């Protein structure tokens, strides 16, 4: 069985369940699909028994999370959309920043709690931060598609340059994010041998989750040694390794 992974801050990453392992594999694969043989091989590396894997796949099929076709198991439409958002979030294609900020304001009141929660999730996924109730902002260096949220209007504006650092500190804990990123990079390096395949998979799944929380700020607003690009490179190298293995 894959062991817990101890990070440098004393926290631990628990081994993935069969369901989490399947979802992580499909979300990280091209096209969101994997063959039964690939999933069985992965389960073996993670210390998950074939019976546990098959039971989890059966429940996921019954629950509609995945479908079964000639090419194997595939994500349902909702999770395929989640994969698309994850791909954008992990790669975070930024542009040169000219000092402009994106401002998004919620214009519709009286929504039920589930609608409000969905909107907040969508705005956070777009890497905006809440400045105050109903007002969300971020530096305008990242393509933010908010078209699926018609209750939000956006515009761009400047912020006094002398106050930008204080605003960033108010909205994001860049130092805490960077510290966690460095611990994950260290763990990835410590578990990069073939015999550590299960632990490495666990670390890489944690890296993806951490990258989804990266605000993708302009270089001008983070320290020079900010580890975001290193974390993305580590995950990209791991995905390339998995892709090569699938072709062998």
* Per-residue three-class SS string for 177-244: HHHHHHHHHHHHHHCCCHHHHHHHHHHHHHHHHHHHCCCCCCHHHCCCCCCHHHHHHHHHHHHHHHHH
pLDDT of residue 50: 92
Rounded distance between C-alpha atoms, residue 140 and residue 149, angstroms: 18
Tokens of 212: 């989804």
pLDDT of residue 2: 67
Strand partners, 68: 73
Give kind and range of the element (H or E) at residue 93: none
pLDDT of residue 177: 97
Query: How long is the chain?
Result: 248
Contacts for 111 with CB less than 8 Å, ≥ 6 apart? 119, 151
3-state SS class at 149: coil
Residue pLDDT tens, the chain, 248 long: 567 898 999 999 998 899 999 999 998 887 788 999 989 988 888 889 999 999 999 999 999 999 998 889 999 988 888 888 788 778 888 899 999 999 999 998 767 888 888 899 889 989 999 999 999 999 999 988 888 888 999 999 988 888 999 999 999 999 999 999 999 999 999 888 777 888 999 999 999 999 999 999 999 999 999 999 999 999 989 888 887 776 66
pLDDT of residue 127: 93
CB-based contact 152:104 (threshold 8 Å): yes
Give me the residue label for tokens 């993708």.
Answer: 216
Predicted structure pTM score: 0.88
């Amino acid at each position: 069985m894959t062991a817990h992974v101890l990070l440098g801050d004393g926290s631990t990453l628990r081994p993935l369940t069969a369901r989490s392992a399947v979802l992580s594999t499909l979300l990280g694969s091209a096209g969101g699909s994997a063959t039964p043989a690939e999933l069985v091989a992965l389960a073996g590396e993670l210390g998950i028994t074939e019976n546990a894997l098959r039971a989890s796949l059966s429940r996921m099929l019954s629950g509609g999370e995945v479908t079964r076709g000639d090419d194997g198991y595939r994500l349902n439409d909702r999770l395929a959309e989640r994969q698309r958002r994850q791909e954008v979030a992990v790669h975070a294609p930024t542009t040169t920043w000219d000092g402009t900020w994106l401002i998004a304001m919620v214009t519709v009141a009286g929504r039920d709690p589930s609608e409000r929660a969905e909107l907040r999730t969508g705005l956070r996924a777009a890497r905006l931060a809440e400045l105050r109730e109903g007002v969300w902002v971020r530096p305008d260096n990242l393509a933010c598609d908010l078209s699926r949220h018609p209750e939000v209007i956006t515009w761009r504006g400047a912020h006094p340059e002398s106050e930008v650092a204080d605003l960033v500190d108010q909205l994001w804990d860049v130092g805490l994010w960077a510290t966690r990123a460095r611990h994950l990079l260290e763990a990835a390096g410590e578990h990069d041998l073939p015999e550590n395949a299960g632990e490495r998979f666990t670390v890489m799944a944690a890296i993806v989750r951490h990258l989804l929380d990266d605000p993708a700020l302009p270089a001008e607003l983070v320290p020079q040694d900010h580890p975001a690009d290193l974390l993305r490179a580590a995950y990209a190298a791991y995905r390339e390794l998995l892709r090569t293995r699938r072709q062998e």
